[in-house]
Amino acid sequence: MRPRSLTNADLAELLARQAETAEGLRQRAFRRAARSAFLWPEEAADLLAQGRSLVELKGIGPFLSKEIEGWLDQPPEKTLPPPLRRDFLTLAGARRILAANPDWSKKLRGDLQMHTTWSDGWGSIAEMAAAAEERGYEYIAITDHSKGLKIAGGIDEARLAQQAAEIKTWNQANKRRRLRVLSSIELNLSPRGEGDMDVAALRQLDLVLGSFHSSLRRTEDQTERYLAAIRNPHVHILGHPRGRIYNFRLGLKADWTKVFAEAAKRDKALEIDSYPDRQDLNLTLLKIARQEGVRISLGTDAHHPWQLAFIELGLAAALKARLSADQIVNFFPLPGLLSWAHSF
């Protein structure tokens, strides 16, 4: 076996850097392959060592395959990725982290962020539930966008009530199964931490995830916005807290120690959005989360049933940050999760 000189994370960075100087179709191919590298199920170096072809990997054709083989043969010097691409795990890397501690993944009982055809997702509630059952989950929270986020097909109070009825019907028809589908929402928060839905509608839900989707490029400190969101009595979990996107947006700045301390005091949770391009909270912030003992929620932000697999990125980040198991709300059995959410 050839030594594992470059990981998929290294290759992703090399591809992203090539994209910066390439043009046209080639630029797009490099950029797309960089993002795909985060989801390759195996290390490219291992594939080659086994005599397999790199075109097995998503985003890789003959041209890029040759490029990557060249890098693996003669590794260029490693450089730290720029902040826009720093602190992201790959699926292959996450699996390595999780394989070293198999008990950790077994503690997971559900996924607390996903979208369906009710807003901008591609799977129905039943399809998301079927994918969750395949993963052996006890529960999932359906968190479609709320009405203020029109671009993502956000739903209003009337549609939310119809969706809750569909969820109730599913749960009743599947009583004998282990899985419960929870009614939830990804409540769109204003920069003042206020939601865009009637409070009476939110009170009907099992759980409320609140997220910022606007003014995400501000460069000044946003601590006050986070404190306001955490103090919003209707929000249980703050979704994708920083609002960062791989190679696109850095996310907001705040005094995270203060933010996490406030969340811990109020027993609110912050999320690890495990979508590969987000991974938000990231490892650096999770280390502060560990110190402050704040609750953490894991969500995939899945928009397709297959994307429930993204949870491994969040699980691995939590493990790597050495969070304690009782910090993680998705490790609770369902009654514990619901009584936590109803305690506010």
Residues that bind Zn ion (CB under 5 A): 211
Judged by beta carbon, residue 97 or residue 140, the one nearer Zn ion is: 140
Q: In what order do the strands lie in the sheet with 209-212?
A: 186-189, 209-212, 237-238, 269-273, 295-299
Judged by beta carbon, residue 301 or residue 312, the one nearer Zn ion is: 301
* Eight-class DSSP state of 205: S
Judged by beta carbon, residue 54 or residue 254, the one nearer Zn ion is: 254
Strands (DSSP E) found in 158-291? 180-183, 186-189, 209-212, 237-238, 269-273
Rounded Cα–Cα distance for residues 142 and 120 (Å)? 12
CB of 274 to Zn ion, least distance (A): 13
Judged by beta carbon, residue 98 or residue 250, the one nearer Zn ion is: 250
CB of 298 to Zn ion, least distance (A): 15
Are the beta carbons of 208 and 159 closer than 8 angstroms? no
CB of 205 to Zn ion, least distance (A): 16
Judged by beta carbon, residue 211 or residue 307, the one nearer Zn ion is: 211
CB of 154 to Zn ion, least distance (A): 10
Question: Alpha carbon of 263 to those of 36, 65, 84, 258: distances in Å?
Answer: 34, 46, 26, 9
The encoded tokens of residue 4 equal 């594992």
* Eight-class DSSP state of 311: H
By CB atoms closer than 10 A (0-12, 13-18, 19+), residue 237 is: buried
CB of 311 to Zn ion, least distance (A): 16
Give the contacts of 214 (CB within 8 A, at least 6 positions apart). 190, 191
CB of 188 to Zn ion, least distance (A): 8
Which region holds residue 153: left if phi is over 0, alpha if psi is between -120 and 50, else beta? left
Give the contacts of 310 (CB within 8 A, at least 6 positions apart). 274, 275, 276, 300, 301, 302
Cis geometry, peptide bond prior to residue 281 (ω within 30 degrees of 0): yes
Judged by beta carbon, residue 185 or residue 323, the one nearer Zn ion is: 185
Rounded Cα–Cα distance for residues 4 and 126 (Å)? 42
Judged by beta carbon, residue 43 or residue 301, the one nearer Zn ion is: 301
State the maximum Cα–Cα separation within the chain, in Å, rounded to a whole number.
Answer: 62
Judged by beta carbon, residue 16 or residue 238, the one nearer Zn ion is: 238
Backbone angles phi, psi at 276, to 5 degrees: -50, -40
The encoded tokens of residue 163 equal 């969706």
CB of 256 to Zn ion, least distance (A): 19
CB of 240 to Zn ion, least distance (A): 6
Judged by beta carbon, residue 211 or residue 297, the one nearer Zn ion is: 211
Rounded Cα–Cα distance for residues 200 and 63 (Å)? 57
CB of 186 to Zn ion, least distance (A): 5
Judged by beta carbon, residue 59 or residue 241, the one nearer Zn ion is: 241
Of 268, 261, 189, 204, the C-alpha closest to 233 is 268
CB of 144 to Zn ion, least distance (A): 10
Query: Taking CB positions, which residue lies at the least distance from Zn ion?
Result: 211
